[in-house]
Amino acid sequence: MSGLLPGDPAATVGGGATERALCVLAPNPSPMTLDGTNTWLLSEPGSALAAVVDPGPLDEGHLRRVIDLAERQGKRIAVTLLTHGHHDHAEGAARFAELTGTRVRALDPAYRLGDEGLRDGEGIDVGGLEIRVVGTPGHTADSLTFHLPADGAILTGDTVLGRGTTMVAHPDGRLGDYLDSLRRLHTMASAHGVRTVLPGHGPVLADALGAVDYYLAHRAHRLAQVETAVEAGCRTPAEVVARVYADVDRALWPAAELSVRAQLSYLEEHGLI
């Protein structure tokens, strides 16, 4: 993750983000999770039903805070949705489902509770709230984005973060898929009214198009750096990381190595190295 800021981030993490989305910040900050995992409570104004996206880690206090927030607003949580299966987003899902009596819907069957999964292009109605499922693989094979058309907003999980950039989690994640997903989000932002990014970590981004433009430029720049490093004699992912990510906190080098492996695989597939 880079220290640069894509788009136009909000000053703080948590609280109300759009008319239909509230963030409850999980208490799991780290170099990889930034301020912590953003758990999203979604509901149509005036509705008695709500959806929760990414309950987060298995932290009883956090899970109950999400439920308490919904109940204080007179809402019942009707469904739990996952952007992807990484533990900082999904570890608490089974317990959250137990506490709320909901099913867990995800792309990967391994993380579902109940018969219904999620698929690209699907529309979900929760008490009048329209949620559209957008397949955005790349960070992981099962990564999804949730589109709230009424708010012009997208919940991106780890595909676009509120601060810095994300990793491509090789071998499950693939750079080619990730670039295609960013281009799809770019089209949504440039031609289909998406203005706001509600990320899985970090503050809200008010300039969705600017954020995706930044991500695409960053990926092109990193890919060129990796190609140059290989041409200069770097032979292992660790050697490439030491050269290309020398200005990045060493605590993030293991994640950077995953991204480098994905970039090397992409360059090999396209005959560039």
CA distance 175 to 139: 8
- Cα–Cα–Cα angle for 163, 215, 81, rounded to 5 degrees: 65
Q: Is the pLDDT of residue 272 over 50?
A: yes
pLDDT in tens, 184-234: 999 999 999 999 999 999 999 999 999 999 999 999 999 999 999 999 999
Tell me the two tokens of residue 1: 């993750």
Whether residue 203 is preceded by a cis peptide bond, meaning omega within 30 degrees of 0, is no
Backbone angles phi, psi at 211, to 5 degrees: -65, -45
Q: Name residue, tokens 């810095």.
A: 164
pLDDT in tens, 127-159: 999 999 999 999 999 999 999 999 999 999 999
Q: Name residue, tokens 């953003």.
A: 38
CB 40 within 8 A of CB 79: no
